[in-house]
Amino acid sequence: MHILFVCTANVSRSFLAEQLFRHEAKKAGIAGVDAASAGVADLSGSPPDPKMVEHLFKQEIGFDRHAARPVDSALVRWADRIFVMEELQAEILRRQYPQSVEKIALLGGCITPGDPPVDIADPFGQSSFHYRTAISQITLAVKNLAATIAAEQ
């Protein structure tokens, strides 16, 4: 299974979701699942948000070098599931890749399974409150997603 996390620029939310998911999948012993991330905006080569990197270091979660990249048709074909942070990103992907509509879902739908999905707002350049909120939402959603996949294996 291939999972693609998508946000606007691929420097904060989708970057964090990818790294946290890799960590949770390894912790849960999930085999045969890979993750990647991208953005709907082309900020190719941009480094990850230092605040998200700091969070990963505090959690003792390492990661390989990251450079932002845009979503493209090869990534969409590669992905079995695509998790976006906001409905706006889902709309963009649905328009650009109509053949992949069934793969696209809000990551916020994994925060509390059974509840309506919510947008995970972009904290970039915002206050520490915004970062804490986004990090908490992404962390919970990714843990629930990994647990669901582990239960299916």
pLDDT tens digits, one per residue of 125-147? 999 999 999 999 999 999 999 99
At residue 20, the pLDDT reads 96
For the cut 90, the answer to whether the pLDDT of residue 94 exceeds it is yes
Task: Label residues 95-107 b or e (16+ Cβ within 10 Å = b).
Answer: eebeebeebbebb
Question: Which of 85, 31, 24, 79 lies closest to 56, judged by CA?
Answer: 24
Q: What is the mean pLDDT of residues 100-107?
A: 97
Note whether 93 and 76 are within 8 A (CB): yes
The average pLDDT across 99-121 equals: 95
Q: Give the pairing of strands 34-39 and 104-106.
A: unpaired
Q: Among 48, 42, 15, 28, which residue's Cα sits nearest to residue 120?
A: 15
- Stretch 12-31: mean pLDDT, rounded? 95
| Cross-strand partners of 3 | 35, 81
Per-residue pLDDT, 62: 85
pLDDT at 67: 92
* pTM of the predicted model as reported, rounded to 2 decimal places: 0.95
Residue-level pLDDT at 108: 97
Asked whether the predicted pLDDT for residue 91 surpasses 90, the reply is yes
Q: Which CATH architecture has domain 2-152?
A: 3-Layer(aba) Sandwich (3.40)
pLDDT averaged over the chain?
Answer: 95
11, two tokens: 């420097």
Nearest partner of 18 among 74, 83, 70, judged by Cα: 83
pLDDT one-digit tens code per residue, 38-90? 999 988 889 999 999 999 999 889 888 889 999 999 999 999 999 999 999 99
Question: What is the rounded CA–CA span in Å between residue 95 and residue 18?
Answer: 24
Question: How much of the chain, in percent, has pLDDT values that exceed 90?
Answer: 89
Half-sphere exposure (Cβ direction) of 43: Cα atoms closer than 13 Å: 20
